[in-house]
């Protein structure tokens, strides 16, 4: 199985590059904008011709949620137009595509976990651009998996876990929002699921889930369970303290006390039962994921 991973700087892409070599049946090639500009047709064709992938994973995205409020054209160019062009090129060659998306396609007002069938209603430019990217991928390539995730963290890159540990080296008390709920998603656990998805869809004419039905469509993928940013921070410091690492007291605050240019959803919890029912995939509890991540960071 040959994977082409569009976008090599993101946390998921980095984890894919790190973990794929351990799979003897997988050859993975992550390409950044210099080698693959998904907004440029000729660049896409060159990359597909050179790599001849059996599955494409599109993790390339404009993810600066706050900056997107003013850099609207850049957000749409990558998240919508580039996603469409890559999906169209894949469709012409009969290649299935796994397209990464986000909980920001919802408004966050639901009281329970979001399912794939819930109505979308983004309230940010980032969310709107990602939703239109989903729609473009669906229209361009019938052989698609759209994988929505949330609150991604990993041992590398910029993320909440690394930020909390860094702040704890400088402060004894950290103020963290406690009225936003979500599903933390550990990039290596996501990658384990993505690699299995890729295996199951690498032969499009044979792709079928555990129930024998066609697998193409939209799925949610996040670690099991949910928490708040405040609860997330407390678990980070609990795990770090147990390993002799930095830790701090966590003060709960309301979102109004930490204003941001782009509105954060009050509820970003994703229900992932469809992924388990169709593919037999269930990510471990988020607390376990935090423990694994903190341990790796402290070892580096």
H helices of the chain, in order, are: 11-19, 41-51, 72-76, 83-92, 125-140, 160-168, 187-201, 229-242, 273-279, 286-299
Which tokens hold the place of 258? 């930490």
Q: What range does the domain containing 198 cover?
A: 2-157+185-225+270-284
Tens digit of pLDDT per residue, the chain (300 long)? 899 999 878 899 899 988 988 888 888 887 877 788 999 999 999 999 999 999 999 999 999 999 999 999 999 999 999 999 999 999 999 999 999 999 999 999 999 999 999 999 999 999 999 999 999 999 999 999 999 999 999 998 899 999 999 999 999 999 999 999 999 999 999 999 999 999 988 864 555 554 445 789 999 999 999 999 999 999 999 999 999 999 999 999 999 999 999 999 999 999 999 999 999 999 999 999 999 999 999 998
Q: Would the pTM count as exceeding 0.75?
A: yes
In a domain, 192, yes or no: yes
Question: Within 10 Å of residue 49's Cβ, how many Cβ atoms?
Answer: 9
Q: Which of 7, 130, 6 is nearest to 56 (CA)?
A: 6
What is the full DSSP assignment across 237-289? HHHHHHTT----EEEEE-GGGS--SSPPPSEE-B--HHHHHHH---PPBHHHH
Query: Which domain CATH number covers 209?
Result: 3.40.50.720
Could you give the number of structural domains in the chain?
1
In a domain, 174, yes or no: no
Residue 119 is given by DSSP the state P
Contact of 125 with 75, CB cutoff 8 Å: yes
In a domain, 190, yes or no: yes
């Amino acid at each position: 199985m040959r994977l082409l991973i569009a976008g090599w700087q993101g946390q998921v892409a980095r984890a894919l590059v790190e973990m794929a070599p351990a799979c003897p049946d997988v050859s993975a090639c992550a390409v950044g904008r210099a080698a693959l500009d998904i907004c440029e047709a000729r660049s896409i064709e060159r990359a597909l011709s050179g790599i001849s992938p059996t599955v494409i994973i599109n993790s390339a995205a404009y993810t600066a949620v706050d900056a997107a409020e003013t850099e609207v054209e850049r957000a749409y160019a990558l998240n919508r137009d580039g996603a469409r062009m890559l999906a169209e090129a894949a469709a012409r060659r009969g290649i299935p595509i796994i397209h990464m998306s986000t909980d920001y396609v919802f408004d966050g007002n639901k009281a329970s976990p979001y399912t794939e069938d819930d109505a979308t209603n983004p309230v940010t430019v980032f969310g709107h651009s990602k939703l239109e990217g989903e729609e473009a991928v669906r229209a361009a390539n019938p052989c698609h998996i759209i994988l929505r995730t949330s609150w991604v963290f990993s041992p590398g890159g910029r993320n909440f876990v690394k930020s909390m540990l860094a702040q704890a080296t400088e402060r004894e008390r950290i103020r963290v929002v406690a009225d936003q709920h979500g599903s933390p998603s550990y990039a290596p656990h996501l990658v384990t699921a993505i690699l299995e998805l890729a295996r199951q869809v690498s032969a499009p004419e044979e792709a079928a889930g555990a129930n024998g039905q066609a697998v193409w469509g939209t799925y949610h993928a996040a670690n099991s369970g949910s928490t708040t940013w405040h609860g997330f921070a407390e678990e980070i410091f609990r795990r770090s303290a147990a390993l002799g690492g930095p830790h701090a007291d966590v003060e709960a605050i309301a979102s109004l006390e930490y204003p941001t240019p782009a509105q954060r959803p009050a509820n970003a919890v994703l229900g992932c039962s469809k992924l388990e029912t169709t593919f037999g995939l269930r990510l471990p509890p988020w607390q376990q994921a935090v423990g694994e991540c903190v341990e790796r960071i402290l070892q580096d």
